Structure 1
Amino acid sequence: MLASEIAKYKVYPSSGDIDDVAKTLIQKYPFLKETGSVTGCEGWKVSLKYKMANYRTTLRNIGCPEVAINTLQHKREREKSPRRNNVKKPRKAEVNFLPQYPAGETKKSLEEERQALLIEVKKTNNDQIIKTKMDKTFAHRRREVIEEMPFIAEFKSRWPALFKVPEINAEFTRITTVPLLSTFMSSLDQYSDQLMKILRKKGGETARRITAALSAISQSSRIEVKRECILKAVIIYLNENPENLIKEYMDFNVMEADELERMDLGVYKIIHEGAQPDDSLEDVGIIIERCTVLPDLRDV
């Protein structure tokens, strides 16, 4: 069945996706091409849209969470003013958008696992236990994120184990099947020389700011410094100010602490007085919704 094959990739295909399927269909089977149609597949596009709608109904009836979450009945339970067009669906690369609960598990049993995790994170040398429990509760956590859309501070209090670099990387892999940190860093390193060539082609005031952003590269042999400089230069290249995202502080004080508490999204780095480009940073952290989600990082 064509609809079931499409659903293996996307339960909610876009109009562009439907167009691609219809065109591929008549290319592979020319006898299906419609006479009198501009594209030869207009009727197939309409048919495929209806087939997908009917197939989603079938999936909803058997309890597929990715479809059930968008039923009007489900929305009434979650939203004060449910809207029919407020469809929750995977974004690009979200392979495991809303997975089923593991076999034999329920919302209640996984909530008990979450509560057990709160105890485990207070212990030492039990990273493997935490990882196992985080893997097990992934579906429960995804439903909470997608259905309830909690504020970051509330979510952090419920899932403190997630707010560590290894678990963020693991969660990204659970959702997309791609390792976040190694993929991003290797790609950045691979294309860094090409990026620098492009960045240096800019002229005027932007060129001056890019040159200033890249200047630390010649003063340090650390790859982390080079990466940070390139990322800042890319932000400038895109006509943005890196200082709006990355805040640098020398000898952190109370006034600067107040500034961080008002930050909705950003990265802070604290440098000790007289530090050289090769010196380690005192602290690096990420803030989201005025909540420090990742402190004590090694570099930007």
Structure 2
Amino acid sequence: MFHLNCVKTIRHHNANPPFSTFYPSFPTGANLESLEKERLELLTDIRIRNNNRVIADKMAHTFAYRRQEVVNQEPGIKDFKDRWPALFQQKEINAEFQRIMTIPLEEKFMAQLDIHSSQLITVIRAKGGSTSQKTADIMDIFDQDSRTDDLQKEMEELTMAVFVIRKEGEGLQEPLADIGIIIEGVEVLNELPSVASACALLLGLLYALNIAYPKPLHFTFEVLQKIIMQLDQHKMSAKVQSLYGRLQSSE
């Protein structure tokens, strides 16, 4: 028996992703056939132990091919994960985000979280109202005692989630059984080191997969993108701009 804690959203995405649709040209000497061959090799490479360097090099070399697929074809998560399983690892999500945005993902996220977390919580709690509720949506936790097969079914019904699983009867100070990410009902990552890391990687996956913010969590993801990661700060919504101003004045 386990407790499942997760961020739950409805099955709806914004029509226009807020992220980059840019993709580079293929590497010199590469073409569709050679890059597809390399993609197929990666399916074998990922099964070989201690093969991280080979995987990293091939993932970097096939970036333009993969990015073109994401932007032009908008594949479903399950199909894309089957085609590019190597992407769905902590190191490769960080690498893909850096290729797209030219800044580190988790390193930047954690550093900025250290700077802003206490002020962010204070400001949100003080402001209350809709801002407090919208930000709380991503932190909304529900506990459910259930059999493993019931949990699996519930996970498959989630559009986007950071989930935390605790063994039944264990307190908040006990080690977690699992932390992971679900997108479109597919468990794309598990055994993550922390909830903060999971949130950073979820944001990274939204960029890597060119997925729009879920509408109910638009405010929260905009805070993560524009305040925590300092991306597209000139495009802040009025609500996020107001929150950012309050954070600046509270420092």
What TM-score results when the alignment is normalised by the length of structure 1? 0.55
Q: Specify the alignment match of 1:266 in structure 2.
A: 161
Q: Specify the alignment match of 2:41 in structure 1.
A: 116
Encode CA deviations 1:85-108: one digit per residue, 9 max, x unaligned.
Answer: xxx9x955x4x8210000011111
Q: Specify the alignment match of 2:134 in structure 1.
A: 238
For residue 293 of structure 1, report the CA deviation from its aligned partner: 0.7
Picking from 103, 107, 110, the partner of 1:182 is 107
SS in 2 for 1:124: coil
Q: Is the 8 A contact 2:81 2:88 kept in 1?
A: yes
* Aligned pairs (5 A) from 1:85-234: 94=20, 97-202=22-127
Bigger mean CA deviation after superposition, 146-155 or 234-243: 234-243
Q: Is the 8 A contact 2:124 2:131 kept in 1?
A: no
SS in 1 for 2:126: coil
Encode CA deviations 1:56-82: one digit per residue, 9 max, x unaligned.
Answer: xxxxxxxxxxxxxxxxxxxxxxxxxxx
Q: Which amino acid aligns with 1:163?
A: F
Encode CA deviations 1:111-147: one digit per residue, 9 max, x unaligned.
Answer: 1010010000001101011000000000000111111
Q: Is the 8 A contact 2:97 2:104 kept in 1?
A: yes
Structure 2: 5+ residue runs without aligned partners? 1-15, 196-251
Q: Specify the alignment match of 1:283 in structure 2.
A: 178
Larger Cα Rg: Structure 1 or Structure 2?
A: 1
Q: Is the 8 A contact 1:271 1:282 kept in 2?
A: yes
For residue 299 of structure 1, report the CA deviation from its aligned partner: 2.3
What TM-score results when the alignment is normalised by the length of structure 2? 0.65
Q: Which amino acid aligns with 2:172?
A: P
Q: Distance in 2 between matches of 1:297 and 1:251?
A: 22
- Give the number of aligned pairs: 180
Structure 1: 5+ residue runs without aligned partners? 1-87, 207-233
Provide closer, same or farther for how the CA distance between residues 257 and 133 of structure 1 changes in structure 2, counting only shifts above 3 A: same
Q: Which amino acid aligns with 2:179?
A: V
Provide closer, same or farther for how the CA distance between residues 144 and 239 of structure 1 changes in structure 2, counting only shifts above 3 A: closer
Q: Is the 8 A contact 1:249 1:271 kept in 2?
A: no
For residue 166 of structure 1, report the CA deviation from its aligned partner: 0.6
Provide closer, same or farther for how the CA distance between residues 260 and 243 of structure 1 changes in structure 2, counting only shifts above 3 A: farther
Provide closer, same or farther for how the CA distance between residues 250 and 282 of structure 1 changes in structure 2, counting only shifts above 3 A: farther
Q: Is the 8 A contact 1:247 1:268 kept in 2?
A: no
* Aligned pairs (5 A) from 1:4-153: 94=20, 97-153=22-78
Q: Distance in 2 between matches of 1:159 and 1:153?
A: 10
Q: Distance in 2 between matches of 1:188 and 1:243?
A: 15
